[in-house]
Structure 1
Amino acid sequence: MATIDKLIDYALSENGGEQIADLRIGLGYTAVLLTSGACGLACMLRHRLIQQHSCSLLAHAGTFVGTHVADVIPLLRSTSVVEASVGLAAINALTANQDHPSSDENLFDLLQLRSSDVVGIVGYIGPIVNEARRRAREVMVFDEVRTDMSDVYDTSREQELLPECDMTIISATSLLNHTFDDLVAMSSSARSMCLMGPSTPLLPGIFQSKGITVLAGRQIQDSKKVLQIVSEAGGTKRFGEAARKINLLLKQT
């Protein structure tokens, strides 16, 4: 079963009749607030919006508040990046209140990075790329957008180069564009793998079986502030303490 289907099935099984209290779709992120007060995030792949030719980017806009979250969660399967972001944000909201024993240890130490390692990073995450380049033998970065940078590969090279990597860090946007399972399969030689970003579902049970070593996501502390940041086109750097970083080290089966 595809990972996004597992996420959808799990979220639907956890649903206790929650409804959407608020939905914000910004240029950087989508945020879903539930009637319980729980809030979830998902990245907006805005470079893909040019593929949508209607002035309305979300069908049924104006009707989501009051909708049962169970009707929204399956949108993660959509090929529309807007709909998919709403579905993933709803899943992250529904699972937001689970207790997670986060580690304060440096991410690369958790992943047991070695100076001899070749690291693959899917999705350009500046601070992570910079630290990896300081600490690893070689770093291969793949991105759909930053292909104008001489040291970033187009994603078409992933199938060729990811099998050479000792460690891979995969952006959780791969769940939104439905490439996650393929990327994991390409990383079969990797000693450790991380799923990263505020879109990351903090659900160890889903990702352990895929070989993910660390889930590096966010836990929302201030829903009101997060909703404001999303509405004002803010991105990851703006969340600060409103959405604290969480690093979950997964037990490998």
Structure 2
Amino acid sequence: MLLGKIKREALRLANGLELVDFGFALPYTWVLVEGPEGRALGVAMTLPEEVQRYRNSITEPSLEAFIGKADSINAIERTLGLAAINAVSQYHIDLSGAEWGDVLELIPENSGKVALIGNMPPLVRELREKGYEIYVFERNARLWDKDTFSDALEYHLLPEMDAVIASATCLVNGTIDMLLDRAKRAGLFVLTGPTGQLLPEFLRGTGVTHLAAMKVVDIKRALLGLKLGSFKGFEEGNRKYVVEVM
């Protein structure tokens, strides 16, 4: 399981970092860490539809305790674990070779069939306007429209796709391994969204080609947005980037 591999690598890099604060919240769960080089904020999108039992086995919060639960079957523990891994990743990440831009810039013309894992309306609209042949898959029925496929069809249709743009919440709901296995034909596989703040080296050799995420450049502003449950408030403290998984 990919999350198991990622958590082992993150635990090694967490050495010397301190858990400053955290919150399991909407729209994002967040973890704030601090080390000799300063502070870093990691997030993971909270998926209420995935939470079945509001119980967390962690009684003494720590960075290591959170990361250790990143591959838990408990959605609360898994979300906190991913936010902690992202905080560690953002502390260590080197974005000197990153492109400060949007995921749209990665998709070449005449790219064939493009799958979007997660209904992301602004991205869907722009891709359709540009004439791409896109297939939108979504688990949450509340986000369906007439052109949206159930995520149950991912298993059958992903082998036909030439490019995949996947919301990084596939790490939260535990579908990342299946997606990578079924999308082996795809020459482009991007994890996108704030939940994709991982260190690129965590994904080396997996089939993921790029990460399109957000770097928190104003922690105070972004953290206030998170505490107020505001997408816009959080994003105002961020800068989008795209980095290749080498």
TM-score under structure 2 length normalisation: 0.89
Structure 1 residue runs of 5 or longer lacking an equivalent are none
Aligned to 2:43: 41
CA–CA distance in 2 between the matches of 1:82 and 1:145?
Answer: 18
2:209 corresponds to which letter in structure 1? T
Change (3 A) 1:116 1:35: closer
Q: Structure 1 CA distance, aligned partners of 2:218 and 2:105?
A: 29
Q: Structure 2 residue aligned with 1:125, among 95, 120, 124?
A: 120
Aligned to 2:240: 245
Post-superposition Cα deviations, 1:56-92, rounded to whole Å, max 9, x if no partner, equal: x54457x53xx3x112201111122221111011111
Asked whether the equivalents of residues 29 and 234 of structure 1 are also in contact (C-alpha less than 8 Å), the reply is: no
Evaluate the alpha carbon distance shift between residue 136 and residue 184 of structure 1 in structure 2; reply closer, same or farther with a 3 A threshold.
Answer: farther
Pairwise CA distance, 1:25: 2.0
Match of 2:195 among 163, 184, 199: 199
Q: State the shift of 1:12 in Å.
A: 0.9
Instruction: Please list the CA deviations of residues 187-237 of structure 1 after superposition, one character each: whole Å capped at 9, or x if unmatched.
Output: 1111211011101133222223122221101111122222221222223x4
Separation in 2, partners of 1:59, 1:116? 45
8 Å CA contact 2:211–2:243 kept in 1: the answer is: yes
- For residues 83 and 225 of structure 1, the distance between their equivalents in structure 2, rounded to whole angstroms, comes to 26
Task: Check conservation: 1:28, 1:46, Cα contact below 8 A.
Answer: no
**Relative to 1, partners in 2 of residues 1:250 and 1:18: Cα closer, same or farther, differing over 3 Å?**
closer
TM-score, normalised to structure 1, is 0.87
Aligned-partner Cα distance in 1 for 2:66–2:105: 37
Is 1:142 paired with 2:137? Answer: yes
Q: Establish whether residue 19 from structure 1 lines up as the match of residue 21 from structure 2.
A: no
Letter in 2 for 1:74: G
C-alpha contact 1:123 1:143 (8 A) present in aligned 2: yes
Judging changes above 3 Å, is the alpha-carbon distance between structure 1 residues 10 and 136 closer, same or farther for their aligned structure 2 residues? farther
- The amino acid across from 2:75 in the alignment is V
After superposition, the Cα gap between the structure-2 partners of 1:60 and 1:214, relative to the gap in structure 1 and judged at 3 Å, is closer
The Cα of 1:38 is off from its aligned counterpart by 1.6
SS at match of 2:197: coil
1:46-195 aligned at under 5 Å gives the runs 46-49=48-51, 51-52=52-53, 54=54, 57-60=55-58, 63-64=60-61, 67=62, 69-97=63-91, 98-100=93-95, 101-104=97-100, 106-111=102-107, 113-115=108-110, 117-146=112-141, 148-195=144-191
